[in-house]
Chain A
Amino acid sequence: MFFRRSARADRAALDRLLDAAATDHVPGAGTEPLARLLSAAAAPGRPDELAGEEAALAAFRAARATPARAPEPTRRRRPVTAGVAAWAAGVAVTATAGVAFAAVAIDRPDAPPPRPRPTTGASDPGETGGPGGTPGGGASTGASSGTPSGPPAPTTGPPAPTAGASATRPGSPSPRERAAELDGQCRAYLAMPPAQRERALDTPGFADLVTAAGGRAQVTDYCRDRVGEPEPPTTREPKSGPTPAASATP
């Protein structure tokens, strides 16, 4: 299989294997053990892997609802344009700490890439450290800015500027925004399957909520008071969604 060829051909072959695994399943998978292994690892999603779908959607709705801050569970669906600005502002304000603010403000343009020039698979020979000629795959690496925002590098000490972390900091978020944020967290919380709720409360994203509710035990009641019963029934079984597996792989 791979080791008989020149090192260079070997590397190219390995790259092809890696590229192929996630896209088309199986290049010569019938025979080649590595190919079979990789294609098994990259096999289409199973329903149980999508168990968090409704919770994720609830978070999505909550996030869209938040900037507008409307307690009735009937609104939502507002134009994003407003949402974008309000969201950025909201996150920036609630994240408060200077560092966190900076992280949000500058997130896009310079994330962790080693060098900031627009990357395209072709150019930099220096970086490949070896054979060259291994195409990156050329897939759409959208200009320079594809790099994620959020907390830039994993090395930064202070936790990410997730809005939730701001619980006890005095005064920065306006009461209005804070309330909206709590509503959002409540919806996300209530949408989770019970087993997951407990663990969710351990995460910093919900620390704020626990504080506001006055303790972990109170969170559920507190949230019901705030936002009412969860909109989508708390679904435990993955199959409740419309045929997840079928459409999971484009």
Chain B
Amino acid sequence: MTGELNEAVVAAQAGDEQAFRFLYRSLQPGLLRYLTALVGADAEDVASETWLQVSRDLPTFTGGEFRAWTVTIARNRAMDHLRRQRRRPSLPVPVQALSDLASDADTAERAGESIGTEAALALIGTLPPREAEAVLLRAVLGLDAETAGRVLGRRPGAVRTAAHRGLRRLAALMERRGEGGPATAADDATPPRPRDVRRRQTPHAEPADG
């Protein structure tokens, strides 16, 4: 996969439009999902800016992880965007909507159905920003911890920890919902570690939120 990407980068640098198209298609969905967590509904605009800059700077890209290079550009564009808007990274969607989507995810999971991408992302979006970013960079954009650390300007260990925390929080969230409490996105802000006892016993309670 990475090899394919690298070949495409070289070809695109030589002017091959199809290769550039391939790069776009390979990266754009993940970028957009990541950007949505950062800037919400403006993600598409920021993604456009990102590709504009990628096009521009592609000739100067000298090698290494193209994915990480692009993600960093995207992140910088997002930060600029937020600065312009004078607001901080925040949840893109109202908590209620998140809550609904998230419980969709949970319901689906209990019913053995597949979880929708949107719902999954919404659930990840309920995490504290650092954790959400770490999870998205690792899982959705496929960066390893070292690379994600470079993108974020943080140490790999810190990224790893943030991602782990995020996952634990997600697991706890899903589990708690499974038990029937209509947990809102807001109130599981801090469990450092879920209690072991609360294994997922079969969801005996009736559907949490009807």
Contact = CB atoms under 8 A, between A and B. Distances in A.
Interface of A: 1-4, 10-11, 14-15, 17-19, 21-23, 33-34, 36-38, 40-46, 49-53, 55-57, 59-64, 77-78, 80, 83-84, 87-88, 91, 107-108, 111-114, 119, 121, 127-130, 134, 136-143, 145-151, 153-155, 159-160, 162-163, 188, 192, 196, 199-200, 203-205, 244, 247-250
Interface in B37-77: 42, 44-45, 47-49, 51-53, 55-65, 68-73, 75-77
A137 B1 CA distance: 14
B55 A63 contact: yes
Interface residues of B, number: 100
A249 B141 CA distance: 12
Contacts of A4: 196
B48 A55 contact: yes
Contact of A141 (B53, B147, B157): B147
Given A14-B167, A142-B65, A147-B72, 6 more contacts: A17-B167, A41-B120, A52-B51, A56-B28, A112-B150, A145-B62
B119 A40 contact: yes
A196 B45 CA distance: 7
**Most chain B beta carbons < 10 A, residue from A15, A33, A149:** A33
Contacts of A61: 17
Contacts of B62: 108, 145
Contact of A140 (B2, B105, B141, B156): B2
A114 B114 contact: no
Given A119-B146, A130-B157, A146-B150, A154 B115 contact: no
A142 B6 CA distance: 11
B132 to A, nearest CB: 11
Interface in B1-47: 1-6, 12-15, 17, 20-22, 24-26, 28-30, 32-33, 42, 44-45, 47
